Structure 1
Amino acid sequence: MNEPIGFLINDVARLLRREFDARARRVGVTRAQWHTLTILSRNEGCNQGALAEIMEVEPITIGRMIDRLEEAGLVERRRDPADRRAWRIHLAQGAQPLLAQLRGIGSGLTADALAGMDGSEREALAASLSRIRNNLTSDESKEAANG
């Protein structure tokens, strides 16, 4: 029986997250921490509101996480030069070794997940998933959903 592609993608994503969580816990990092650090590494210098929106959480939730990460020396708040009331979130130097560990965990997990697939199969999978993502984030699909 062929499962709908959406269910397969969701199941794989859930299983990857669960296994990454388990591996990250071994180095003392929670899902909320690694997720925040990873998203911030891709969006360095954004404000808390933008970070909350990207992560699809409430601003108060991300504010508390940033407080904890700041206390741990992993992120820092810097004043926004364009708006003195706002703060921009940046990775602190202390985050770099942890992010390197997390990247290593991710690489190992990817290797385990794709075991038995040759290079062309891996490339085809990545290309297909990229196309799906692009289709779902294109301006046309957004207009179709809204109109």
Structure 2
Amino acid sequence: MAVQPDTAHALVDAIFLFGRTLRTTLANSTGDPLPNALTGVLFVLWRMGECRPTELAAELCMSQSALSRQLGELVERGMVDRHRDPDDRRAHRVSVSETGQKALREIRDRRASRLHELLGGWDQAQAESALDALAHLNHTLSVHEPPGRNCL
């Protein structure tokens, strides 16, 4: 049986609320060394690997000028390395530095520890079920991404 429209609406609401809850519970209360926006840029860059800022901006669905400011701050903090693109000397490439990788590990470890604490009443099967559902939802949504990532 196909998903009913009311269920799709409820899922949209639940996903929105889950995002807000996740940000306020894990990201804002853990004492992370970076603001959430910079942590997000650093995490996506780490997942992508070395790339041009234009590629990273497309992946993040954000303007190049907004990303440029955030990358500048990450470079100043020593968390991102920027160097000339060997294929096009007019352009540059960015990657997560050793300092940035260390910061990401600390942030991820702190957040995982906090989540572990919060899930104290859950058993392993419940946690694995949630992980499977999130992975399945993420896969389904990413498979149906429009070409060119038409960001809103």
**If the TM-score is normalised by the length of the shorter chain, which range does it land in?**
0.7 to 0.9
Choose which of 46, 51, 62 in structure 1 pairs with 2:51.
Answer: 46
Task: State the TM-score, normalized to the length of structure 2.
Answer: 0.80
* Preserved CA contact (<8 Å) 2:52 2:93: yes
One-letter amino acid of the counterpart of residue 136, structure 1 = L
What SS is found at the alignment partner of 1:46? coil
Whether 1:11 aligns to 2:31 is: no
Q: Distance in 2 between matches of 1:126 and 1:19?
A: 18
Equivalence map 1:53-64=2 (5 Å): 53-64=58-69
Q: Distance in 2 between matches of 1:136 and 1:29?
A: 28
Q: Percent identity?
A: 24
Aligned to 1:125: 130
Equivalence map 1:57-76=2 (5 Å): 57-76=62-81
What SS is found at the alignment partner of 2:122? coil
What SS is found at the alignment partner of 1:77? strand
Which structure 1 residue ranges, 5 or more long, are not aligned? none
Number of residue-to-residue matches in the alignment = 140
Instruction: Point out 4+ residue stretches in structure 1 off by more than 4 angstroms.
Output: none
Q: Distance in 2 between matches of 1:82 and 1:32?
A: 30
Give the drift of 1:63. 0.6
Aligned to 2:115: 110
Give the drift of 1:76. 1.1
* Preserved CA contact (<8 Å) 1:20 1:106: yes
Task: State the TM-score, normalized to the length of structure 1.
Answer: 0.82
Q: Distance in 2 between matches of 1:5 and 1:114?
A: 22
Q: Distance in 2 between matches of 1:33 and 1:11?
A: 22
* Preserved CA contact (<8 Å) 1:23 1:105: no
Aligned to 2:140: 135
Deviations 1:113-144 (A, max 9, x none): 433221111111111121122222225x759x
Over the residues paired in the alignment, what is the CA RMSD in angstroms?
Answer: 2.2
Question: Per chain length, whose mean CA-contact separation is higher, i.e. which structure has more relative contact order (CA < 8 Å, sep 6+)?
Answer: 2
One-letter amino acid of the counterpart of residue 142, structure 2 = T
* Preserved CA contact (<8 Å) 1:79 1:86: yes
